[in-house]
Amino acid sequence: MRSIFGVRRARAATAAVGVVISAAAVVGVAGYDAVASTTVTTTSPAKAASGWLARQLTGPNRDHYSVTFNGTQFPDAGETADGVLAMDAAKVSQTAAARMTKWLKANAKDYATGSGFTPGTYYPGSLAKLLLVAEAQHADVRSFGGIDLVKQLRGEEQSDGAYLNTGDKSFGSSPVAQSLAMIALSHTGSMWDWPNAKAIGWLVGQQCADGGFSSSTSSAPAKTCTDVDATAYAVQALITVHSSAAARAVHWLVTHRNSDGGYGLTTDGKASSNANSTAVAVQALHQATWSVTSGISWLRKHQIGCSGAYSRRGAVRFAGAFNQATALRATTQAGQALALRWLGSITDNNAIDAAPRLKC
């Protein structure tokens, strides 16, 4: 497998549609990834989003994202993984993506075990995200930060088909983690890693009577569900493994689009659109070959354009006014959707090193 840190042969892809190389020299600014002495600009919403993401990295090596609790910053591996996938989906920012992947490798065991709370056992959702990154970045899935991601993820499958941390069952399984695991295992390149009938059956067994899914596990699924995110992840998993249950879940998503074209959780009978829910719904519906025009339009309306502050251009707002923390999380998922890539279809093939800025 090729190194993710070497010089890429995809430099020619710099001339891809939507990306323009200007002749202006780059002044050395921390966090700005560019090729040689050129500034890369773009009219592509997905590329602009991923360029912005590359400039938000933190730490001494600017290689990960952080979350703040009670005034203290903590590294956020899950958000960092989502950022890599957004960059790979948009085919840009590979200098940043390589640093992020290296950081994820170095912190893989802490992330996958919950900072070592249950040594020797792993959380399936975390393993699945790392596996998706390794697959997209063409890293070694059998030795990622000292973990055989495939072996360990398969080893967390229980007798009923649920992927569950065997050392911390109090955490419980979930339809979202199950979906991520199924998608990741379906793209290792080996038919022997494909999710088995029990794993598929477990997810199908969580489907509500109306076709949707809940974010929490239930012994008896409800008649109706209101969780767009869980349903969108389940759709991607079920389509990937060719389950007929996908059709009802797709129909649920189609009928739960809000009047403004976006998607969001329903509270007290009122639906409120947000970028994260809209993004995963777009990914699922695009994989199902449904029109995603309204969802993409909603995301683009919430992306900071040329009239916004220079440092924010390319970012996608969660819903209302710009907030750095929520915009960062929103943009990692919105970037994947704007690139029209669903989970499992994301790869760094033909991606360029530079992190484009929005052309104004």
Q: What is the pLDDT of residues 78-134, one digit of tens each?
A: 999 999 999 999 999 999 999 999 999 999 999 999 876 666 689 999 999 999 999
- DSSP classification of residue 174: -
- 213-249 per-position pLDDT tens digit: 999 998 888 899 989 999 999 999 999 999 999 999 9
Domain spans, the chain: 9-345
Query: What is the architecture, at CATH level 2, of domain 9-345?
Result: Alpha/alpha barrel (1.50)
Nearest to 289 by CA among 256, 261, 247, 331: 247
- 296-309 per-position pLDDT tens digit: 999 999 999 999 99
Task: Give percent of the chain with pLDDT exceeding 70.
Answer: 86
Average pLDDT of span 44-60: 98
CA distances from 147 to 112, 122, 296 (A): 9, 10, 37
| Model pTM score | 0.89
- What string of H, E and C letters represents the secondary structure of 14-70? HHCCCEEEECCCCCCCCCCCCCCCCEEEECCHHHHHHHHHHCCCECCCCCEEEEEEC
Report the alpha-carbon distance of residue 272 to residue 95 in Å, rounded. Answer: 36
Q: What is the pLDDT of residue 296?
A: 98
Q: What is the pLDDT of residue 112?
A: 94
Cβ neighbours of residue 72 closer than 8 Å, sequence gap 6 or more = none
Average pLDDT of span 5-25: 35
CA distances from 124 to 84, 94, 176 (A): 19, 27, 10
The two three-digit tokens of residue 55, written as one number: 């400039």
